[in-house]
Amino acid sequence: MQNAALEATRLDAVYLAFRVASPSLLMALEGFKAIGLSGFNVTIPHKVAVMRHLDDLEEPAATIGAVNTVVNHNGRLVGHNTDGAGALAALRESGVEPSGKRVLLLGSGGAARALAFTMAETAENLTILNRTISKARTLAEDIRRITGTTSVTGGGANPSTLKNAAAQSNMVVNATSIGMNPNARETPIAKELLRPDMVVFDIVYSPLETRLLRDAGQVGAKCVNGLTMLVCQGAQAFKLWTRAEAPVSAMKEALTTVLKAKSDRGPD
Ligand code: NAP
């Protein structure tokens, strides 16, 4: 996706992936600085750990408490988070206006934190449910304390809390990794709890159509998959690194080709 963007904008640059083990994180960052990389993305499991090694954090990364994009300003590494804005842009691009929605957000990891802070700004109310109860409670408390929003609650995800929360919501967002390959048969919420008047947004992008989205489609709910969010958050990162507008359609086309081929092949 990023290489397609670089090619389309004729920038003399390349995007590469490196596997970095946790004990080597600082060393990798020093290496990136030493060779003068313009910037990089950070993914699982480094999104939080990377923060203490950066020179500065731009909002909303500091508030969210996770970084997915780093820009190298002449040797000063500055952390950003483009996940929340990417999610919002993806919903709007899919014809969904997130304002005023009663949102059930599943998960409390890095991506869920970004989405929760962003959605709390526009939603009528936000219920966060997660396997680890303490993480959902802490996230809801952080949002209430930092943003002053009162209509945010957090708790454990179990059949009873999911049933109650779904009944009171018209938008369900999966920000857990449940349903992601190779566990594509799993779903974070039972099909019986989904309704035609709901928007169901699954940020998992591999497979492209998760079991949750298949279930949601079958009950007639409006479905939004993780691909558009991946493109939108990547487009924001591209702009941060290059200061150029991202060629979104070239990025989406490249990503769709790769993910579709992956989906057709089945679980890795
Ligand atoms: P993370 O920080 O590791 O968080 C994972 C979340 O999933 C946690 O809430 C975790 O619950 C929950 N979870 C994982 N396995 C579970 C299970 N078996 N049962 C119940 N809950 C489970 O990961 P992340 O960075 O937030 O990413 C989450 C997903 O979003 C991944 O699939 C990732 O690929 C996707 N993502 C998509 C985009 C996009 O642009 N579309 C962007 C970012 C991430 P606990 O807290 O209890 O561990």
Domains in the chain, CATH or no CATH each: 2-82+229-265 (3.40.50.10860), 84-227 (3.40.50.720)
Active centre residues (catalytic) = 47
- What pLDDT, on the 0 to 100 scale, is given for residue 134? 98
Name the residue with the closest Cα to ligand 1, atom 40: 230
Token readout for 173 is 């967002």
CA distance 255 to 206: 11
Residue type, 138: T
- What pLDDT, on the 0 to 100 scale, is given for residue 260? 82
Average pLDDT of span 47-73: 95
pLDDT over 70 at 126, yes or no? yes
Average pLDDT of span 61-78: 95
Residue type, 190: A
The answer to whether 78 and 56 are in contact (CB under 8 A) is yes
Token readout for 28 is 């990798």
b/e burial code for range 230-259 (CB count within 10 A of at least 16 → b): bbbbbbbbbebbbeeebbbebbbebbeeeb
CA distance 248 to 1: 9
Relative to the CA of 226, which ligand 1 atom is closest?
A: 41
- What pLDDT, on the 0 to 100 scale, is given for residue 16? 97
Say how many Å lie between the CA of residue 176 and the centre of ligand 1.
3
- Residue 92 to residues 208, 238, 257: CA-CA distances in angstroms? 19, 20, 23
Average pLDDT of span 53-74: 95
CA distance 87 to 66: 15
Q: In which band, very low, low, confident or very high, does the pLDDT at 267 lie, cut at 50, 70 and 90?
A: low
Token readout for 237 is 């990162």
Q: In which band, very low, low, confident or very high, does the pLDDT at 32 lie, cut at 50, 70 and 90?
A: very high
CA distance 88 to 206: 20
pLDDT over 70 at 120, yes or no? yes
- What pLDDT, on the 0 to 100 scale, is given for residue 160? 98
Name the residue with the closest Cα to ligand 1, atom 20: 131
Of 46, 82, 158, 176, the residue with max ligand 1 atoms within 8 A of its CB, to mutate for a pocket test, comes to 176
pLDDT over 90 at 44, yes or no? no
Average pLDDT of span 120-129: 96
Q: In which band, very low, low, confident or very high, does the pLDDT at 268 lie, cut at 50, 70 and 90?
A: low
Q: In which band, very low, low, confident or very high, does the pLDDT at 116 lie, cut at 50, 70 and 90?
A: very high
Percent of the chain at pLDDT exceeding 70? 99
Q: In which band, very low, low, confident or very high, does the pLDDT at 265 lie, cut at 50, 70 and 90?
A: confident
DSSP-derived 3-state class of residue 197: coil
Q: In which band, very low, low, confident or very high, does the pLDDT at 262 lie, cut at 50, 70 and 90?
A: confident
Q: In which band, very low, low, confident or very high, does the pLDDT at 261 lie, cut at 50, 70 and 90?
A: confident
Neighbours of 140 (CB within 10 A): 23
Burial of 151 (0-12, 13-18, 19+ CB in 10 A): middle
Average pLDDT of span 35-60: 95
The answer to whether 116 and 54 are in contact (CB under 8 A) is no
